[in-house]
């Protein structure tokens, strides 16, 4: 991860000085960074891109199953009020996969409990009887939006698993004041139910100890991640009413080294006028908000799935009525999932193509909205799997029309976004780097097109023997395509190079050095 921060800074410094370069200044430019062997370079942002032409960055929506992977069907997962059955389970939680056995573990929730499920294939799930809360699969963790990590840095077995979540049971005035005294921006907090965020730890992920002191002023959703280099904990949480952003719901970040002392929260994803314009295209559309952010380290950088909430007023603009059988609808709107990117986990940027990576539909189970996701995906073979909360109605729906279930979204590895060329040739040229590996592999779909790769020197001249014609790949689609030139398959060693990709009728997702 430090490598990528250095890389981004080096490239940023180069781009700022580029217009002033003379021969004398050029000799002083920083050395080219080393690209690590085996670390994939994605095209979700432009940090490694020196130039491109005839190319568009494209988001690739997830593939879905015809049915959810888990629905509310056990007695303790159902709620009945006024003769109406409320069927809701959600995955403001976590899915972990054992690296050796491949088995899956899921922490999910119904309206009042944190539940636990297991699976051998990630599609068919079982609810083991835990005997923690009777003959059910309930854990003893009582937090809303439970987000869990397995802490690889922890040396105390009793704290192997960490969690954050919110509780609306309230806190005595002394505890609340102690929490407020830790931070500067507190005057905005006027939550009547005193929702506060708490931390917890566990040896097995089933029996938990919640810390008595709250960690952050609360709302409802929060996700937990961990820096893979420093071990620091990152909590991405919702705030409502913070004066630093316009609108209601937005995502803030606070960082901790010990799960007890947290940095001053600062906004990381907030709606802008581009979002608001998109919302106003809806009937009754007013403005955009952001519900939650699931952020995770991936391929030497950070990726995030953020839930874009497009508010509609009044609810009847979406539902045809504002209440059902005397029950008033809450804030109405449609929620989908977009991609955001970061090089350090702290500073986040919108992907240039803001179309959703997980849109609602086409199936009935998620045709209304995507309410939330687990805090990180799992990698299964050559695919990325993400579990999410699917809703049959938009936000503001009421039972029995509204049902929530847990579903699975799938992409090819590195397949969230690509650089795409259509029927006219496109060119992508990288910044200079020194390759640590000797072989080049690309993740590309050119089954209807072609991809050629030139290797050029620091002056932009094609190095002899590394022309695009001799490396041409045609009619193939694979996450691992080996690039070979006529006389060699080894890259020039020990000196700065650039790669110049020539793409026609295809998508380029990533590349790496082997």
Torsion of CA 68, 74, 77, 81, to 10 degrees: 110
As given in the structure block, the two tokens for residue 206 are: 């089933």
Nearest of 146, 128, 278 to residue 221 by alpha carbon: 146
pLDDT of residue 28: 61
Cα distances from 357 to residues 123, 249, 360, 369, 395, in angstroms, run 20, 21, 10, 13, 19
Q: What is the structure's pLDDT at 29?
A: 64
pLDDT tens sequence for the chain (514 residues): 444 344 444 443 333 233 433 344 445 667 888 999 998 999 999 999 999 999 999 999 999 999 999 999 999 999 998 889 999 999 999 999 999 999 999 999 987 789 999 999 999 999 999 999 899 999 999 999 999 999 999 999 999 999 999 987 667 889 999 999 999 999 888 877 788 999 999 999 999 999 999 999 988 899 999 999 999 999 999 998 888 887 788 999 999 999 999 999 999 999 999 999 999 999 999 999 998 999 999 999 999 999 999 999 999 999 999 998 889 999 999 999 999 999 999 999 999 999 999 999 999 999 999 999 999 999 999 999 999 999 999 999 999 999 999 999 999 999 999 999 999 999 999 999 999 999 999 999 999 999 999 999 989 999 999 999 999 999 999 999 999 999 999 999 889 999 999 999 999 999 999 9
Helix (H) or strand (E) holding 495: none
Which pLDDT belongs to residue 247? 76
User: How far is residue 307 from each of residues 37, 214, 474, measured CA to CA in Å?
Assistant: 34, 25, 37
- Closest to 256 measured CA to CA, from 265, 244, 243: 265
Task: Estimate the share of the chain in helix, then strand, then coil, as percent rounded to the nearest 5.
Answer: 10, 45, 45
Q: Rounded distance, CA 197 to CA 187, Å?
A: 17
Residue 82 is predicted with a pLDDT of 85
Q: Is 388:406 a contact under the CB 8 Å cutoff?
A: yes
DSSP class of residue 31 equals: P
In this prediction, residue 170 carries a pLDDT of: 66
pLDDT for the residue numbered 494 = 87
- Confidence at residue 6, expressed as pLDDT on a 0 to 100 scale: 41
Which residue is it, tokens 């839930």?
Answer: 307
Compute CA distances 451 → 100, 231, 468, 509, whole Å: 36, 40, 8, 12
Q: Please count the other Cβ atoms lying within 10 Å of the Cβ belonging to residue 404.
A: 29
pLDDT value at residue 395: 96
> Using an 8 Å Cβ cutoff, are 437 and 512 in contact?
yes
Which residues are registered as beta bridge partners of 276?
none
CA gap 374, 261 in Å, rounded = 24
What distance in Å separates the CA atoms of residue 258 and residue 233, rounded to the nearest whole number? 8
Q: Which of 462, 467, 470 lies closest to 498, judged by CA?
A: 462
Q: Is 114 helix (H, G, I), strand (E, B) or coil?
A: strand
Residue 491 DSSP label? -
Q: Do strands 301-312 and 323-324 pair parallel, antiparallel, or not at all (unpaired)?
A: unpaired
DSSP state of 176: H
Least Cα distance to 391 among 71, 61, 66 occurs for 71
- Residue 324, strand partner residues: 327
Tokens (6 digits) for 283: 């009937």
Strand 34-35 and strand 434-435: pairing?
Answer: parallel
- Put simply, whether the predicted model's pTM sits higher than 0.85 gets the answer yes
**Largest pairwise CA distance in the chain:** 81
User: Which burial class, exposed, middle or buried, applies to 459 when counting CB atoms under 10 A from its CB (0-12, 13-18, 19+)?
Assistant: exposed
| Cα 60 to Cα 181, 188, 239, 367, 480, distances in angstroms | 45, 38, 29, 18, 18
- Tokens found for residue 181: 């005294």
Domains of the chain, start order:
2-58+418-513 (2.60.120), 63-411 (2.115.10.20)
Contact 447, 477 (CB under 8 A): yes
- What φ, ψ does residue 278 adopt, rounded to 5°? -65, -40
């Amino acid at each position: 991860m430090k490598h990528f921060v250095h890389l981004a800074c080096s490239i940023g410094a180069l781009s700022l000085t580029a217009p002033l370069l003379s021969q004398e200044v050029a000799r002083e430019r920083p050395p080219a960074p080393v690209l690590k062997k085996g670390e994939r370079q994605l095209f979700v942002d432009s940090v490694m891109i020196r130039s491109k032409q005839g190319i568009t960055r494209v988001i690739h929506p997830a593939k879905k199953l015809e049915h959810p992977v888990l629905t509310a069907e056990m007695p303790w997962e159902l709620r009945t009020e006024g003769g109406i059955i409320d069927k809701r389970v959600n995955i403001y939680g976590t899915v972990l996969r054992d690296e050796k056995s491949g088995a899956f573990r899921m922490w999910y929730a119904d309206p009042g409990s944190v539940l636990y499920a297991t699976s051998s294939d990630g599609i068919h799930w079982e609810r083991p009887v835990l005997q923690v809360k009777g003959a059910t699969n309930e854990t003893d963790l009582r937090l809303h939006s439970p987000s869990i990590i397995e802490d690889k840095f922890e040396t105390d077995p009793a704290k192997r698993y960490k969690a954050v979540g919110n509780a609306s049971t309230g806190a005595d005035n002394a505890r609340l004041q102690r929490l407020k005294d830790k931070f500067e921006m507190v005057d905005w907090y006027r939550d009547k139910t005193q929702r506060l965020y708490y931390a917890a730890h566990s040896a097995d992920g089933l029996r938990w100890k919640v810390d008595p002191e709250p960690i952050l002023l609360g709302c409802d959703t929060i996700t937990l991640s961990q820096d893979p280099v420093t071990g620091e904990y990152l909590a991405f949480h919702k705030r409502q009413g913070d004066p630093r952003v316009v609108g209601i719901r937005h995502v803030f970040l606070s960082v901790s080294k010990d799960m007890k002392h947290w940095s001053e929260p600062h906004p990381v994803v907030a709606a802008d006028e581009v979002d608001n314009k998109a919302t106003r295209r809806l009937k009754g559309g007013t403005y955009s908000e952001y519900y939650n952010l699931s952020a995770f380290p991936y391929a030497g950088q950070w990726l995030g799935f953020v839930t874009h909430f497009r508010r509609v007023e009044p609810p009847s603009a979406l539902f045809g009525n504002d209440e059902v059988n005397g029950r008033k609808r809450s804030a109405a709107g449609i929620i989908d999932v977009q991609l955001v990117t970061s090089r350090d986990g702290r500073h986040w940027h919108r992907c240039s193509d803001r179309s959703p990576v997980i849109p609602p539909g086409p199936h009935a189970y998620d045709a209304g909205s995507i309410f939330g996701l687990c805090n990180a995906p799992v990698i299964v073979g050559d695919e990325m799997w993400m579990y999410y909360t699917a809703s049959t109605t938009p936000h503001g729906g009421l039972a029995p029309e509204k049902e929530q279930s847990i579903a699975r979204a799938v992409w090819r590895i590195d397949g969230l976004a690509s650089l795409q060329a259509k029927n006219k040739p496109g060119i992508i040229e990288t910044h200079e780097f020194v390759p640590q590996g000797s072989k080049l592999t690309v993740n590309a779909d050119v089954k209807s097109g072609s991809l050629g790769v030139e290797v050029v020197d620091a002056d932009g001249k094609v190095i002899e023997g590394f022309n695009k014609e001799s490396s041409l790949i045609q009619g193939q689609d694979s996450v691992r395509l080996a690039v070979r030139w006529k006389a060699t398959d080894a890259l020039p060693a020990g000196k700065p190079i650039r790669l110049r990709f020539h793409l026609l009728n295809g998508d380029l997702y990533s590349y790496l050095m082997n």
